[in-house]
Amino acid sequence: MGTTFSKVDGQPDYTVELQFSSSIPIQSVVAAAEAAGQSILQIYKSEASKWDVQLKSDNSPLTRADSAANQIICDELTRLTPHIPIISEENAIKPYEVRQNYQYHWLVDPLDGTKEFLKRNGEFTVNIALVTNGIPVLGVVHVPCQAKTYWAVKGKGAWLQTSQTQTQFQAAEFGLDDPGLRIVASSSHLSKETEEFVSLFDSPEFVQVGSSLKMIMVAEGLAHMYPRLAPTCEWDTAAADIIVREAGGVVLQAGVCNSEGKALEDWRKALIGCSA
């Protein structure tokens, strides 16, 4: 037997507005990313037959390392901020009608570059971002195979942290007409549009790298540009986005696409409009 509720005519219907502040220690988020990285490395160094590789509905790979890292990060973020929802590549995603009302949310890719993990080339990362109104305000990118963690907080600069040092860094300054610009692109998602973009420059050096390491290279001044002219997901880019911006770099949107990843506008016109 169910319970029903009804409203009495004329009964006052008041609401209570809640306002509260919450502080999040950046080093607690760094620690979560590094703990996830340690878990990934343990599996990475084991026999490949123990990786439990599966294919998700979009045909992208999922391993035991993805799941283990996701559990560690979600448990720690829930402990730190039980009032902030978590959107992770490896969690069930709530409908957009719910998500669009989030004031803050965590955006997580527990193992960015699973294909690179499977290739055993070390080019994978752990990405954690705190987002408000569609804009990252905190980002952590941990590189397990390099024992390096990059992080940024809005207005506080971009930082590289190792077990012994913590240093601030800046993106490189350059002109679009400069010869020999270093352009980095995806190892797994190279497109015709990217090749066309690279051809616009004078004798560019072209490098292919996996995961969010591409944006980190731009932030750290090791590359000048990273064109991503194919569909990508926010959990792939959010953490590195604020790191690039806090390092003095710029992130531009090269047009929009539909829910199936089909471009709805030409990237050339979009980029010219952004840079004007």
pLDDT tens per residue, range 142-171: 999 999 999 999 999 999 999 999 999 999
Contact yes or no for 211/116 (Cβ under 8 A): yes
The residue among 14 and 179 whose pLDDT is bigger is 179
Distance CA 118, CA 228 (A): 22
pLDDT(276) > 90: no
Question: Any residues with CB less than 8 A from the CB of 61 and at least 6 apart, and which?
Answer: 53, 54, 55, 114, 115, 118
Q: What does pLDDT average to over the chain?
A: 90
- Tokens in use for 127? 């990405």
- Residue 156's φ and ψ, nearest 5 degrees, are -115, 5
pLDDT of 223: 98
pLDDT of 274: 59
pLDDT tens-digit map of 45-93: 999 999 999 988 888 899 999 999 999 999 999 999 999 999 999 999 8
pLDDT tens-digit map of 182-211: 999 987 667 788 888 999 999 999 999 999
Strand order through the sheet with 125-132: 86-88, 104-112, 125-132, 135-143, 148-153, 158-161, 166-169
pLDDT of 131: 97
- Tokens in use for 24? 């999040």
Number of helices followed by number of strands (H, E) in the chain:
8, 11
If you search the block for the tokens 């990362």, which residue do you land on? 125
Percent of the chain scored above 70 by pLDDT?
A: 93
Model's pTM, two decimal places? 0.89
Q: How confident is the model at residue 270 (pLDDT cuts 50, 70, 90)?
A: confident
pLDDT of 158: 98
pLDDT(273) > 60: no
CA atoms within 13 A on the CB side of 136: 26
pLDDT of 253: 85
pLDDT of 157: 98
- Residue 33's φ and ψ, nearest 5 degrees, are -65, -40
Question: Any residues with CB less than 8 A from the CB of 88 and at least 6 apart, and which?
Answer: 70, 73, 74, 106, 107, 108, 109, 110, 235
